[in-house]
Amino acid sequence: MAGSLILSTHYGLGQALILPTVLGSSLGLLDRFDPRALLALFASDRYAYWAATPIMAELLTRAPLPTPRPAIPPICHVSAGKLPSRVFDAFAKRFGVKLRPNYGQTENGFIAVETAPDALIRPDCVGRAAPGIELRIGDDPLDPEPPGHLGRVWFKSPWYMEGYGFPPNLSPQQGRQGWWSTADIGLLDEDGYLTLAGRADDCFKTAAGHLVNPGQIAQALGDHPGVSEVAVVAVQSPAGPVVGALVEAQSGLDADQLRVAAARVLPAWLHPQVVTVVDRLPRLPSGKADRGACHSILCRARGWEDRGEERPQSASASASG
């Protein structure tokens, strides 16, 4: 197995440390992500599994390849939520191996994994519930939403971390009859595949007083052909917070097309007032969208002062608002 530091997150702890420990396998651990060092590991033909993130996978699609080309491990699991389709396609085209999305958190490890045959892998999803895990969607896991409806992601697991540190700082677990809440918004389809659409604590109120779930808007815009990923943030206009959407898309797609698409499926109070299309979203080292940088781009597009994104005062706002 090959992985990278750090080991204190779901990615590092679950994929780069616990798995090889349980399986008794060798671990090729990089102190930082360097595509050349990783390709050198692969050239030894000793690795059958690579723990990746979207930004790592994207760098490999652009890194110069040595001669002869090293064989990529047949199993490449990628964490950090939704995988941009362009990264999925570019990686498969270059290496002949499809990335397998997964989803989890440090407190309990894997929640959903993609174990389907290569031909059935869906980059828009993060797989189905891992063995021993159950998934539900909604404000209340005891009264879950039906398939296809957005809501908070809940899971039931036979294992759950009781605290952090050594000795651990223990605190009472907050659950509902064995169901644990995540901070993520998503939906389950009829086949049990989980699609993530943002975080519940990213919900915000607009200047008009409407509670906005960014995941709902991101899903509507993300369904438009040519769109790879969408970051929805509360943009600080002179009149107060408004809905902004920074869209990563193929060339030729303009903001007006996206506004029309959003108007077809979203209520008026969820229509984004500021829409900008870019080739690539600004990203954090983890591969997730850099929301602060997205906010700055949207402010510049309107000529507004960048006063920072409006963050929710409480993470308990209803995700279905």
- The model's pLDDT over 32-44, given as tens digits with 9 standing for 90+, comes to 788 899 999 999 9
Does 13 map to a domain? Answer: yes
* CA-closest candidate to residue 155, choices 106, 111, 110, 215: 111
Tokens of 239: 């009149």
Does the predicted model carry a pTM greater than 0.95? no
43 and 192 both lie in a single domain: yes
* CA-closest candidate to residue 242, choices 201, 289, 301: 301
Q: Where a domain ends, among 168, 198, 228?
A: 198
Q: Where a domain ends, among 167, 198, 229?
A: 198
Q: Which of 1-10, 20-29, 138-147, 277-286 has the lowest mean pLDDT?
A: 1-10
161 and 256 both lie in a single domain: no
193 and 215 both lie in a single domain: no
Asked whether 300 and 276 are in contact (CB, 8 A), the reply is: no
N- to C-terminal Cα distance for the chain? 43
Q: Where a domain ends, among 198, 229, 245?
A: 198
- Tokens 């994994």 -> residue: 113
How confident is the model at residue 171, as a pLDDT? Answer: 66
Is the model's pLDDT at 208 over the cut of 80?
yes
State the Cα–Cα distance between residues 72 and 49, nearest whole angstrom.
9
How confident is the model at residue 244, as a pLDDT? Answer: 94
Does 307 map to a domain? Answer: no
- In the chain, pLDDT over 70 holds for what percent of residues? 91
How confident is the model at residue 173, as a pLDDT? Answer: 65
State the Cα–Cα distance between residues 64 and 68, nearest whole angstrom.
12
259 and 111 both lie in a single domain: no
Helix (H) or strand (E) holding 128: strand 128-129
Distance of CA 71 to the CA centre of its chain: 27
Q: Which of 21-25, 80-84, 85-89, 154-158 has the lowest mean pLDDT?
A: 80-84
Angle (CA) 241 270 122, round 5° = 115
10 and 154 both lie in a single domain: yes
How confident is the model at residue 311, as a pLDDT? Answer: 54
192 and 284 both lie in a single domain: no
**Beta-carbon count within 10 A of 34 CB:** 13
Q: To the nearest whole number, what is the mean pLDDT of the chain?
A: 85
Residues in the chain, how many? Answer: 321
CATH number at residue 224: 3.30.300.30
Per-residue model confidence as pLDDT tens digits over 209-244:
888 888 788 878 888 888 888 999 999 999 899 999
Does 105 map to a domain? Answer: yes
How confident is the model at residue 209, as a pLDDT? Answer: 86
110 and 242 both lie in a single domain: no
Is the model's pLDDT at 317 over the cut of 90?
no
For the purposes of burial, counting CB atoms within 10 Å of the CB of 26, is it exposed (0-12), middle (13-18) or buried (19 or more)? exposed
243 and 99 both lie in a single domain: no
| Range of the structural domain that residue 167 is part of | 2-198
Per-residue pLDDT, averaged over 181-203, amounts to: 87
Per-residue pLDDT, averaged over 152-179, amounts to: 79
51 and 111 both lie in a single domain: yes
138 and 35 both lie in a single domain: yes
Band of the pLDDT at 172, cuts 50, 70, 90?
Answer: low
6 and 95 both lie in a single domain: yes
How confident is the model at residue 80, as a pLDDT? Answer: 66
State the Cα–Cα distance between residues 126 and 250, nearest whole angstrom.
23
